[in-house]
A and B are shown apart, each in its own frame.
Chain A
């Protein structure tokens, strides 16, 4: 066999590795070049991916914000004590002082019957009709704020102790609605998971379809390269990189969409802050969120193109 001297130009092993890496880079750049040369298709695909992923992304951020807000609320859990209506203001104030010295209590606030009525008159809109009442129906109230570090059990104990006091008619812990909120949040969290899964599948399909069309358009090229001895891995590579680019750009686009959406929300939120003298801070994507979003989108791109390539590339054989 005519061998060594005719084949001496063959790349040596180390050169082969370099050439292999070089080809990877070439495919990467080539697939980017292709994207650059067919901007319409690319922009459309990237936009579809971006919009699709911005939904779970935005939903996730929304939840994150709600979660942060509810965290604030949990730390301000308070117990409201409605005192016996016959208790005098003096005795009631003495009781407040006593309670404020108990363990697990951070602060107390006394609201007299008159103050309650006044507040009710102003906020309820029943002003005039309340004036017609012969006597004030409201009791004195004490608002007790447990230490925020206190666990649920300690708070419950405190509640029971307060309830046991003879002067206290009703002791009410404002957690019921919080629990309800948590249940809703839990439902919302699961919805985010479902939405994310569904929309990820949608992205897979979109990328898979784009790559499939790409493969069909380059059928002739695939046949020729197979005939001159290209391995399947070689032929696969530019398509896989194409998928990676679509995923990466789509991920970046979805991030951009969500950020812009939040900017749009920031205006009304500031007004809300003014109205309630609250200090709600809008949480946007952290750097970690950003990395997760973009890398999982890229991974979706790779997976989608992999599926398309596995399904369609082997079907193209020279005849």
Chain B
């Protein structure tokens, strides 16, 4: 699904936000991305979601080179991803339902199909009763869940989340992570950037750690990793479901 080979991202200022980062997230796999503030987590997610282009190295999403992809194909590749932002990016001039339905409208789904899928996504995050509400009337956690519903409504192959639990209390954070686990259960690849080391530890999923733009820990490439540095963690058993949902 995601393939990085020695990817370096240098921002115009000359600072290397990522240097020689390699990773491979297989289809249906789930992993956490951690690291100190400024380590390059968001930058990595931005490269995958085609917001930034890698300076050097090869970055691929679903076998498509993210550096050389032509402009007009960008929207179509983005439709394969569901992105969840820390600042949820909801539109406040329309209802929860209309927010969640946006990806389907953009992709030209039929009316009935839109209604059906939007309600299913809202149901999934437990907000079916709020479909007619305006986003401002919702709590922070609810808004975050609306963002998640919008990210999954079109059934993307890959879910990217940048600190989805940033401002939430531990109970709510756990609930949100559980939603991601559920999606992963039905075969969606998931990559979550998070600071919440305690929660990550509980969830027993592969972890990638960045430090000043360098990958210092990578559970996903264990073989290669063991040779280089030595084990950090007990090996993860990858038995991810690839069923439908």
A binds B: yes
Minimum CB–CB distance from A312 to chain B (whole Å) comes to 17
List the A side residues contacting B51 at CB < 8 Å.
Answer: 227, 317-319
List the B side residues contacting A234 at CB < 8 Å.
Answer: 106
Minimum CB–CB distance from B9 to chain A (whole Å) comes to 13
Q: A1, B27: Cβ atoms under 8 Å?
A: yes
Minimum CB–CB distance from B154 to chain A (whole Å) comes to 8
Q: Does A16 contact B (CB under 8 A)?
A: yes
Minimum CB–CB distance from B95 to chain A (whole Å) comes to 14
Interface residues on chain A, size class: 20 to 34
Q: B108, A23: Cβ atoms under 8 Å?
A: yes
Beta-carbon contacts under 8 Å, A8-22 to B: 9-11, 15-16, 18-20, 22
Contact with A along B181-200 (1 / 0, CB 8 A): 00000010000000000000
Q: B157, A2: Cβ atoms under 8 Å?
A: yes
Tell me the bound Cα distance from A20 to B109 in angstroms. 9
Q: Does B217 contact A (CB under 8 A)?
A: no
Tell me the bound Cα distance from A232 to B71 in angstroms. 10
List the B side residues contacting A132 at CB < 8 Å.
Answer: none
Beta-carbon contacts under 8 Å, B64-88 to A: 72, 75-76, 78-79, 83
Q: A225, B106: Cβ atoms under 8 Å?
A: yes
Q: A9, B107: Cβ atoms under 8 Å?
A: no
Tell me the bound Cα distance from A123 to B83 in angstroms. 91
* Nearest CB in chain A to that of B1: its residue: A1
Tell me how many residues of B have a C-beta within 8 Å of chain A: 31
List the B side residues contacting A229 at CB < 8 Å.
Answer: 75-76, 78-79, 103, 106-107
Q: Does B150 contact A (CB under 8 A)?
A: yes
Q: B78, A224: Cβ atoms under 8 Å?
A: no
Q: A9-B117, A227-B49 are in contact. Are A19 and B108 (CB under 8 A)?
A: yes
Instruction: Identify which of A19, A220, A319 gathers the most chain B CB atoms within 10 Å of its CB.
Output: A19
Minimum CB–CB distance from B46 to chain A (whole Å) comes to 8
Instruction: Identify which of A5, A6, A20 gathers the most chain B CB atoms within 10 Å of its CB.
Output: A6
Q: A2-B157, A11-B108 are in contact. Are A225 and B27 (CB under 8 A)?
A: no
List the B side residues contacting A121 at CB < 8 Å.
Answer: none
Q: A227, B83: Cβ atoms under 8 Å?
A: yes
Q: Does A221 contact B (CB under 8 A)?
A: yes
* Nearest CB in chain B to that of A3: its residue: B157
Q: Does B91 contact A (CB under 8 A)?
A: yes
Q: Does B137 contact A (CB under 8 A)?
A: no
Minimum CB–CB distance from A68 to chain B (whole Å) comes to 53
Beta-carbon contacts under 8 Å, A301-319 to B: 317-319
Contact with A along B33-59 (1 / 0, CB 8 A): 000000000000000010100000000
List the A side residues contacting B103 at CB < 8 Å.
Answer: 228-229
Q: Which 3 A-B pairs have the closest CB atoms?
A: A19-B108, A229-B79, A229-B78
- If A228-B103, A319-B51 are given as contacts, then 4 extra A-B residue pairs at C-beta distance below 8 Å, sorted by A number, are A2-B157, A10-B109, A15-B108, A318-B51
Chain A residues in the interface with B (C-beta under 8 A): 1-2, 5-7, 9-11, 15-16, 18-20, 22-23, 220-221, 223-232, 234, 317-319
